[in-house]
Amino acid sequence: MEPPVYFQDAMIEGAFRFMVHDHYLQSLPESETEMRDVFCFAAPLPLLGLVAEAGLLRRYMRRLLRERNLAVKRIAESTEWRRYLPGG
């Protein structure tokens, strides 16, 4: 973590062989912020996992990240973000 420009989520144990999600934040003009995600993962089974990654998991994870980012944007651009702070 390098507040306020970078943080990382990493799977310690779970369904995937590994999963790392980097978030890069950059200030833009007009008091805006850009967030760029770098998401890396590997399916649990080496050979079968490659087939699953290519055929299903990549599309699923892209859709999941797009939906999550839309939710983050909606919350950040409203007053709803206050609910996530202590005492909010």
**Residue 63 is assigned to a structural domain of this protein:** yes
Rounded to whole angstroms, the Cα distance separating 80 from 36 reads 22
Task: Using DSSP, state whether 82 is helix, strand or coil.
Answer: helix
Q: What is the pLDDT of residue 47?
A: 67
Which residue range forms the structural domain that includes residue 65?
6-81
**Residue 87 is assigned to a structural domain of this protein:** no
More confident residue, 9 or 16: 9
Q: What is the pLDDT of residue 48?
A: 66
pLDDT tens profile 38-84: 999 887 777 666 776 667 888 888 999 999 999 999 998 999 999 99
pLDDT tens profile 25-51: 999 998 889 999 999 988 777 766 677
Least Cα distance to 62 among 36, 35, 84, 39 occurs for 39
The domain total for the chain is 1
pTM: 0.74
Helix extents (H) in the chain = 46-52, 58-76
**Residue 47 is assigned to a structural domain of this protein:** yes
